Amino acid sequence: MIPWSGSTLSLVRSFRRDPLQLLTSLHQRYGPIVRLRVPGRAVYSVSDPDAIQQALTRTHREYHKGISRRRDPTGPGIVPLRPVLGDGLLTSEAALHKRQRRLIQPMFHRARVAEYESIIAVLAEEMVRGWADGEVRDVHRDFTELTLAVIARTVFDVSLDNDVIRVIRTAIAQHQPAMSRLVAPLGPRWKRAQREINTMLYDLIAARRSAPPGRDVLSLLVAARDPDTGEPMPDRLIRDEAMTLLLAGHETTANALAWTLHLLSLSGYSGSDVKSVWLESLRLYPPAWLQTRRLVAPAVVAGHELPAGAMLLFSPWVVHRDPQWWPAPLVFDPSRWEGTAAARPRFAYFPFGGGPRQCIGNDFADLEGVTVLAAILRRFRVEPAVGVPPVEPAPLVTLRPRHGVHVRLKTVVAPPYVSTHDGEPRHR
């Protein structure tokens, strides 16, 4: 029998106050599956890696994205950000998602992504040159600007001060509170901004259609052809995919980089393996802290028969900190990624999800994270800053630092060799 969480009122209060702590405590108290007392809905928190793997990879026809509707739990789900992102990979479902994924996947193969390394490196060096020894910086703000610049250059082949990026930045800033809570901003101010953004994006798409082939992602989207029909991608879907890459692609990486410098500032880590630092940071602070699926047919999950329409919650935050899979799970220890990998379930670590809906930009994010960290650590080490706002996680759409991440910079006297091989917490 599946255990139930406490009262509905207690559950709602706890989720609003600290969903990370709530989901962690439910896992510690009840085990790998627990039903949440949500009126009118069958909602389960699942923290068993094998069950998560099944949901994300093995039987994806039974598991869809979106929020189940009360009156039609097995029908089309609610996708809150669709009014903003349209039918991009993050929000589309079923046949459309499969077709778009097939068209876009080649653009994010490792060999293709590697072409963008020089762009990322140049922009990272420009950022670091603006830093100075002894100053205190909110690196979350710096990384938000940097990752937006990277997306602007690699997706649109424009600079950060381009009109379309400027308008999108302004719209994001004005409507961030709503979008951070998975609520689509639908007021007149957003609609005016959206019309302006769409006009600019469609102008960029039209220009790409009449220009020689380029290497930026927008050019590749325009050049893509359906392998069965030979038809190009419609402008509307190109717009949706471009918006998805821009909005989703820069925030998650900016958050991950900020959490990484927070961990480094507290740990005193002096190793040179940047890739291991990056992987360990994603373990402790996964930007996509909560992933969901809804059952469109009955299925056995973690050994229990669940009904069609059930909502499933998977939290990398919970699983990544489970002592069953991670010795000393709250310790920031990059060395756990060096050498032979420990024996643990595949989905004891899933910062990018998995299966047919795995984040298509995972290799891009890894490349960007490691390249930026290497540029920083060649010149600086970071220390905790004094008299600044506390560093606290804000689990919204992504795991943002609530008050930013302020660190003090110290110039590295003898720049270390920094390896980028591919291969709250206490600190070792």
**Alpha-carbon separation of residue 410 from 44, 374, 381 (angstroms):** 46, 15, 5
Mean pLDDT, residues 283-292 taken together: 95
- Higher-confidence position of 168 and 99: 99
Q: Tell me the whole-structure pTM to 2 decimals.
A: 0.92
5 pLDDT exceeds 90? no
* Mean per-residue pLDDT, 390-412: 94
Q: Which residues contact 89 (CB under 8 A, 6 or more apart)?
A: 97, 100, 101, 104, 241, 244, 360
Q: pLDDT tens-digit profile of 191-217?
A: 888 888 889 899 999 999 998 888 899
pLDDT at 279 over 80: yes
Burial 401-422 (b: 16+ CB within 10 A, else e): beebbbbbbeeeeeeeebebee
Supply the pLDDT for residue 59. Answer: 57
pLDDT in tens, 333-390: 999 998 777 789 999 999 999 998 899 999 999 999 999 999 999 999 999 999 999 9
**Average pLDDT of the residues of the chain:** 88
Planar angle of CA 267, 147, 426, nearest 5 degrees: 15
Q: 394, 287 in Cβ contact below 8 A? A: no
Q: Compute the average pLDDT of residues 296-322.
A: 94
Per-residue pLDDT of 216-237, as tens digits, reads 999 999 999 988 899 999 999 9
Residue matched to tokens 């082939």:
213
Is the pLDDT at 118 greater than 60, yes or no? yes
Of 281, 279, 252, 254, residue with least CA distance to 427: 281
Say if residue 417's pLDDT is above 80. Answer: no
Say what the pLDDT of residue 403 is.
95
Q: How much is the pLDDT for 177?
A: 63
> What are the tens digits of pLDDT across the range 242-264?
989 988 888 999 999 999 999 99
Which phi-psi region, left, alpha or beta, contains residue 302 (left: φ > 0; alpha: ψ -120 to 50)? left
Using 50, 70 and 90 to split pLDDT, how confident is the model at 418? Answer: low
What span, in angstroms and rounded, lies between the C-alpha atoms of 376 and 259?
A: 14
Confidence label for 3 from pLDDT (cuts 50, 70 and 90): confident
Residue 94: CB atoms within 10 Å: 12
Cα–Cα distances in angstroms (integers) from residue 327 to residues 324, 344, 379, 425, in the given order: 7, 11, 32, 13
| Whether CATH 1.10.630.10 fits 8-427 | yes
Residue 110 has pLDDT above 60, yes or no: yes
**C-beta separation of 357 from 65 below 8 A:** yes
Q: Is the pLDDT of residue 423 over 50?
A: no
**Under 8 Å CB-to-CB from 58, ≥6 apart: which residues?**
355
Predicted confidence band of residue 175 (pLDDT cuts 50, 70, 90): low
What kind and span of H or E run contains 163? Answer: helix 163-180
At 424 the pLDDT is: 56
Kind of pairing, strands 311-314 and 43-46? parallel
421 has pLDDT over 60: no
Q: Give CA–CA dist 96/321, Å, rounded.
A: 35
What's the average model confidence in pLDDT over 49-66?
84
pLDDT at res. 426: 54
